[in-house]
Amino acid sequence: MKKPFWAISAVMALLAATVACFGQGHPRGTTKIEADGATVSVEYGRPSLGGRTFESLESQLPPDGWRLGADKSTTFSTSKDLVFGDVTIPAGEYSLWAKKSGDAWSLVFNKQHGQWGTQHDPSKDLASVPLKAETEQKSEDLVTIKLEKEGGGGELSIQWGTQELSTNFKVK
């Protein structure tokens, strides 16, 4: 009687672990740099266009912001204060959102992070910075976020399809 109980318990534990690992639904991506003594990273979900174009999905983006990924919110982490143009982002962890107003894009840093991606609370927005929008020749099927060293800081870029959004920062 004990052997079937332990076998069933082991199978249930394995099933629970599998669901916990794969419950997100989309692959996760991470990008990280060390710049001027700061560690900066982004962890995000990577949805696929699946034959669609970014432009066809753009009109479906919620007005209070796109979660920049899929499933769990995209988490931006910095060990030191960063300066984006004239906006200072204090060391810490934030969720990232992109907003479009007319033809202009902005990157929103929200003090709430770790929540399910569509649960954006605009009252917790810390700041937003302008994003430069460009059309790339090579299309990315999966959302791709990159951090690259540049000068005394870096560049954060987001690409999906041929749409690329980017901004530069310095370590304070």
pLDDT tens digit sequence for 62-86? 666 777 877 788 999 999 999 999 9
In a domain, 4, yes or no: no
Question: Looking at this protein, which amino acid is placed at residue 146?
Answer: K
Query: What confidence score (pLDDT) does residue 92 get?
Result: 97
Token digits of residue 150:
């540049």
161 touches 48 (CB < 8 A): no
In a domain, 97, yes or no: yes
In a domain, 10, yes or no: no
Sheet strands side by side (includes 75-78): 28-35, 38-45, 75-78, 92-101, 104-110, 125-150, 153-171, 82-84, 87-89
In a domain, 16, yes or no: no
Q: Which helix (H) or strand (E) holds 83?
A: strand 82-84
Number of domains observed in the structure of the chain: 1
Query: What confidence score (pLDDT) does residue 4 get?
Result: 54
103 touches 134 (CB < 8 A): no
Query: What confidence score (pLDDT) does residue 143 get?
Result: 86
**Residues of the domain holding 77:** 26-171
Query: What confidence score (pLDDT) does residue 167 get?
Result: 97
Question: Looking at this protein, which amino acid is placed at residue 141?
Answer: D
Helix (H, G, I), strand (E, B), or coil: what is residue 145? Answer: strand
**Residue segments in the chain with a per-residue pLDDT below the cut of 70:** 1-24, 49, 56-64, 117
Query: What confidence score (pLDDT) does residue 16 get?
Result: 42
